[in-house]
């Protein structure tokens, strides 16, 4: 049976079972790994069964797409937590801090400054993860590993942002393990809790390396 044929509930249960097994192998049984359901490109009709099955944490990669889908779903379901997992342009900051509970892609000073500015006028306080370009790929967003720890401190102290952790997207043509291990080490050095790493193809490996949050799209919703 393909992923597409299973109900949302069955897919969530299947993933949770794999997550538990990975936690057992990593001797992290008492710990909770958060599943972020990446609903980008899927419409409200496709998302609703996952909400009905109890999933509450979702990821979107575009501000505009999130604005089109989530305000209505939030009226229907309570306690939704929405993560921005795609690049954020400074001209979308105002809207992003309104829409999202967590912004996972903080990666440069100008963006941090704009976010801090936007938050001064709001009573909502989104949390942030710093995106690290662990593969140092020129086309990919994220701060370089060498600058990551200092950047976290800078965001906290200069901008007063609440930095919960780090996030990475390893290069697609390399084994992800060393990238996950690097992110885990940098999070230790920066003294932050969250390691957002691991997607549909490699989330078990990420859990073995200390992931606190995994971001799964196709394993839940089917291929895009
Ligand atoms: C799309 C996306 C995911 C989910 O990818 P899948 O391979 O479908 O699980 C995770 N993280 C980010 C940043 C993404 O853009």
Question: pLDDT, tens digit, for every residue of 133-183?
Answer: 999 999 999 999 999 999 999 999 999 999 999 999 999 999 999 999 999
Verdict on whether the full-model pTM lies above 0.85: yes
The residue with greater pLDDT, 177 or 2, is 177
> What are the beta bridge partners of residue 213?
34, 196
CB 212 within 8 A of CB 193: yes
How far, in Å, is the centroid of ligand 1 from the Cα of 211?
A: 15
- Sequence-distant (6+) residues with CB within 8 A of 55 are 8, 12, 35, 37
How far, in Å, is the centroid of ligand 1 from the Cα of 158?
A: 31
How far, in Å, is the centroid of ligand 1 from the Cα of 34?
A: 15
200/187 Cα distance (integer angstroms):
22
Token pair of 109 as six digits: 């000073």
Average pLDDT on 96-105 reads 97
**Residue 14 three-state SS:** helix
The residue whose C-alpha atom lies closest to atom 6 belonging to ligand 1 is 217
pLDDT of 3 over the 60 cut: no
Q: How many CA atoms lie within 13 A of 137 on its CB side?
A: 16
Cβ of 40 less than 6 Å from ligand 1: yes
Site of tokens 């593969």: 135
Average pLDDT on 75-89 reads 98
Mean per-residue pLDDT of the chain: 96
9/22 Cα distance (integer angstroms):
20
Cβ of 218 less than 6 Å from ligand 1: yes
Distances (CA, A) of 195 to 51, 65, 67, 209: 24, 25, 26, 9
Is residue 80 very low, low, confident or very high in pLDDT (cuts 50, 70, 90)?
very high
How far, in Å, is the centroid of ligand 1 from the Cα of 60?
A: 9
Q: How many CA atoms lie within 13 A of 142 on its CB side?
A: 23
95/63 Cα distance (integer angstroms):
7
**Residue 140 three-state SS:** coil
Average pLDDT on 3-17 reads 87
Cβ of 170 less than 6 Å from ligand 1: no
């Amino acid at each position: 049976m393909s992923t597409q044929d299973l109900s949302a509930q069955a897919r969530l249960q299947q993933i949770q079972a794999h997550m538990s097994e990975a936690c057992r192998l990593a001797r992290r049984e008492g710990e909770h790994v958060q599943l972020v359901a990446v609903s980008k490109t899927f419409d409200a009709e496709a998302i609703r069964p996952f909400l009905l099955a109890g999933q509450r944490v979702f990821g979107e990669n575009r501000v505009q797409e999130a604005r089109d889908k989530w305000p209505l779903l939030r009226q229907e379901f309570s306690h939704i937590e929405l993560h921005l997992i795609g690049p954020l342009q400074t001209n979308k900051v105002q809207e992003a801090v309104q829409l999202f509970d967590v912004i996972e892609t903080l990666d440069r000073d100008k963006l941090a400054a704009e976010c801090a500015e936007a938050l001064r006028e709001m009573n909502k306080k989104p949390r942030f993860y710093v995106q690290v370009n662990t593969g140092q790929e020129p086309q990919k967003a994220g701060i370089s590993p060498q600058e990551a720890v200092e950047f976290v401190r800078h965001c906290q102290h200069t901008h007063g942002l609440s930095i919960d952790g780090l996030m990475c997207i390893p290069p697609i043509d390399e084994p992800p393990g060393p990238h996950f291990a690097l992110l885990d080490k940098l999070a230790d050095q920066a003294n932050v809790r969250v390691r957002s790493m691991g997607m549909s193809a490699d989330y078990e490996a990420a859990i073995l390396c200390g992931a606190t949050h995994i971001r799964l799209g196709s394993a839940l919703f089917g291929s895009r």
